Amino acid sequence: MEKRRKWKYLSLCIPAFLLIVIFMIVPLGNAVKVSFYKWNGYSQKMKWIGLENYGSIFTDKVFGRSMMNTFIYGFGSTLFQNIAGLSAALFVNKQFKGRNLVRLILYMPIMISGVIMGAIQYYIFNYDNGVLNNLLNLFGIGNIYWMESGIGSVFIITLINSWQAMGFCMLIYLAGLQNIPKMYEEAALLDGTSRRQIFFKIDLPLLMPAITTAVITNLIGGFKLYDIIVTLTNGGPNRKSLSLSYYISLLYFNDEKAGYSAAVGIALFVIIFIVAVPINQYLRSREVEY
């Protein structure tokens, strides 16, 4: 197409990208600058220390732990949400009384803010007077200390997050399923293909755009998990259930290490980048046109 036309189209992008540059790139630049200083976050004085903050990242045990947690939140949530979402979509696709009700209720928790959900779940998983333990007590089982270990807490947080956001995946898959032209399935049925094969050979590939969208969105969302951890575990026993996002804010506000916090922020960005881009490329390549 002629150059003029092309630039005309591109000019449509200006307002959006302008906003992005002002509100994301500029503050990001500020963060990069701060990462080279030692600063307590509120004083007017800062001290230049070069790459020292980045060096500290490699010896920081909590960083390593948080990074691992972030991966679990990201990949774990994505895995659970997508499998659950797809199953739910298939389930809800059937016709039965009350189906709409089920669909409605499955989607509802998304409306609840992560902060509020964490606060409520705190009272469900509480050791002493938590609802879950109350339930167990009814059956004669003693209290379980759910949040005792870091790994346990991380697992619980992942589960809660997946449970809450599953509705989103469910809808994307429902839309995708309904997008599949029936003629393909009917033709296959006529050919005598089993339903299982239909699912794996026809539906899944055609669901790829939906899967791509769902997986990338979930992944990035899981990596950035923050709200629910704040109110549920505050970082967990001895900072063991922190996500990198939460660690960044803790470093800044609690530990008063603003420079180091900025460095960790940049590191998180790089990590997400390294992980998400290849996945995106791979999923895009598997999309099938129809």
The rounded distance, in Å, linking the Cα atoms of 274 and 70 is: 14
Q: How far is the CB of 18 from other proteins (least distance, A)?
A: 9
Q: Figure out which of the listed residues 40, 60, 151, 193 binds other proteins, where binding follows CB under 8 A.
A: 40
Determine which residue in the list 112, 141, 159, 187 makes contact with other proteins, applying CB under 8 A: 112
Q: Of 253, 278, 286, 288, which one interacts with other proteins (CB under 8 A)?
A: 253
Which tokens in the block code for residue 43? Answer: 């004083």
Output the smallest distance, CB 63 to other proteins, in A. 14
Among 86, 157, 169, 198, binds other proteins (CB under 8 A): 198
3-state secondary structure of 47: strand
29, amino acid identity: G
**Contacting residue, 20, 51, 141, 159, with other proteins by CB under 8 A:** 20
**Residues 159-178 interacting with other proteins (rule: CB under 8 A):** 163, 168, 171-172, 174-175, 177-178
* Residue choice 86, 147, 156, 242 for contact with other proteins (CB under 8 A): 147
Residue 83 makes contact with other proteins by CB under 8 A: no
Instruction: Say how many C-beta atoms besides its own lie within 10 A of residue 52's C-beta.
Output: 15
Q: Work out which of 30, 141, 197, 201 binds other proteins, going by CB under 8 A.
A: 30
Min separation Cβ 121 and other proteins, Å: 7
Q: How many CB atoms are closer than 10 A to CB 125? A: 20
Query: Which residue from 287, 290, 289 is spatially nearest to 209, judged by alpha carbons?
Result: 287
224 lies in the site for other proteins, by CB under 8 A: yes
Buried b / exposed e along 139-171 (16+ C-beta atoms within 10 A): eeeeeeebbeebebbbebbbebbbbbbbbbbbb
Residue 79 or 221: which CB sits closer to other proteins?
A: 221
Residue 272 is a binding residue for other proteins (CB under 8 A): yes
Q: Which stretch binds other proteins (CB under 8 A): 51-59, 75-83, 276-284?
A: 276-284
- Closest to other proteins by CB, 16 or 50: 16
Report the residue from 83, 116, 141, 288 that binds other proteins according to the rule CB under 8 A: 116
What span, in angstroms and rounded, lies between the C-alpha atoms of 232 and 157? 8
Rounded to a whole number of angstroms, the minimum distance from the CB of residue 120 to other proteins is 5
Check binding of 80 to other proteins (CB under 8 A): no
